[in-house]
Amino acid sequence: MTAEAAYVVRGENPILRGEVVEQLLVELVGDDDRMLTVEELVVPGKAAAGEGSDDAPTGAEGRAAVMAAALNAAHSPPFMTSRRVVVIQEAGNLARDDVGGIVEYLGDPLPTTALVVVPGAGRLPKDLADALKRAKAVELGPAAERTGDVLEQHLRDAELKLRPEAVKTMSTHLGEDAGRIPALVDLLVSSFGPGATLDVADVEPYLGDAGAVPSYVLTNTIEAGDAPAALDTLHRLLAAADPRQQRPMHPLQVMGLLHGYYRRIARLTDPEIRSARDAVDALGGRIKEYPARKALEQARALGSDGVRQAFDHLSTADLDLKGARAIPEEAVLEVLVARLASLSARANRGRARPRARR
């Protein structure tokens, strides 16, 4: 493979993004010794909860150390190989003050070095993004990241067939966790062989824990008054790691989500708000018409009394999460979600009930 001066590998899901990086490295390294060819560095981010400077290099000093090592590697000629490949992972953690050296390097890159920049979950500083464009960096990323599309792609590549109900079961179970699909499809191929046609009963034993789901699914199921579905969604939000944040939602994040949802509804209980367009305006114009219409419909269904009851439930749960009573956090949220779903169910039944003729 003829190497370019620079590559940028994007993608929201770290596993699918990692597949692209790995394939690129295979092509760039070729028959050379990978240990001698590749220098891979990770830009540190902020310390996670409970971590300190002893756990991982963080802050400006950590970023400076990584960039110094990357520049040294990029400027070094290859040793016993045809080229050097320098990979900067999580480059989206870099600040503007960190990238002066690499921007200067990209103005006159070493012809024997291939620089691979992986932004990760963050956004590249503008100076670095502009320098990569000027250097005509090759942009790469996963062919697909939506669960259904990724599943279809990997099944096709593996020559494995799933019946429609099995596809639906897998997609629903995995939720947003499309990064698990490559390993799962490999496992199914190892168990059943290529060319096999599988049904729900064949795939279920291999699915493992349920994957993450978008946070809006929780408010949708509450709005529908479907308590079992809302509780199942809550459990997935608290247990399954979000593919982008790499961790499940914290109970206080769930509370923040629900508070924001009901604040939006409360602002739409004004009888002067009659249309979706009115709702968009009442919410500051920073929302699309479809969610604004849904919020308006829920505000009408709940009414002022229903919204007041919802905030009573939220207030009680908020105090319990902060230790007012010795109740486990998950149990506090389960009770809250069940109460809110029940409130919506009663409101929806009242809305559906035909009015008596006068």
C-alpha R_g of the chain: 26
| Per-residue pLDDT tens over the stretch 167-221 | 999 888 888 788 888 888 888 988 888 888 999 999 888 887 777 788 888 999 9
SS3 call for 156: helix
Number of other residues whose CB lies within 10 A of the CB of residue 85: 24
pLDDT average, residue stretch 323-350: 86
| Per-residue pLDDT tens over the stretch 281-296 | 888 877 888 888 888 8
Please give the pLDDT value at position 116.
Answer: 95
Confidence of residue 1 (pLDDT cuts 50, 70, 90): low
Tokens 């996963």, residue? 142
| Per-residue pLDDT tens over the stretch 209-247 | 777 788 888 999 999 889 998 998 898 888 877 666 667
Average pLDDT of the chain is 85
Q: Where in the chain is the domain with CATH 1.10.8?
A: 147-206
Separation CA 260–CA 258 (nearest Å):
5
pLDDT average, residue stretch 100-123: 92
Q: Which residue has the higher pLDDT, 104 or 58?
A: 104
Please give the pLDDT value at position 73.
Answer: 93
Number of other residues whose CB lies within 10 A of the CB of residue 275: 12
Burial classification of residue 164, based on how many CB atoms lie within 10 Å of its CB (0-12 exposed, 13-18 middle, 19 or more buried): exposed
| CB 15 within 8 Å of CB 180 | yes
Fold of domain 147-206: Helicase, Ruva Protein; domain 3 (1.10.8)
Q: Where in the chain is the domain with CATH 3.40.50.300?
A: 6-140
Separation CA 84–CA 246 (nearest Å):
31
Q: What totals of helices (H) and strands (E) does the chain contain, helices first?
A: 15, 7
Tokens 């003729």, residue? 357
Residue 358 has pLDDT above 50, yes or no: no
Element (H, E) at 345: helix 329-352
Report pTM.
0.60
Confidence of residue 48 (pLDDT cuts 50, 70, 90): very low
**Sheet with strand 84-89: strands edge to edge:** 38-42, 84-89, 113-117, 6-9, 138-140
Q: Where in the chain is the domain with CATH 1.20.272.10?
A: 216-352
pLDDT average, residue stretch 79-87: 92
Instruction: For residue 63, give every residue at least 6 positions away whose Cβ sits within 8 Å of its Cβ, in sequence order, or none.
Output: 43, 44, 93, 94, 95, 98
Confidence of residue 49 (pLDDT cuts 50, 70, 90): very low
Residue 130 has pLDDT above 90, yes or no: yes
CATH class in words for 216-352: mainly alpha
Residue 2 has pLDDT above 60, yes or no: no
Phi (first) and psi of residue 104, to 5 degrees = -65, -40
Q: What is the CATH number of domain 6-140?
A: 3.40.50.300
Q: Report the share of the chain in percent with pLDDT over 90.
A: 33
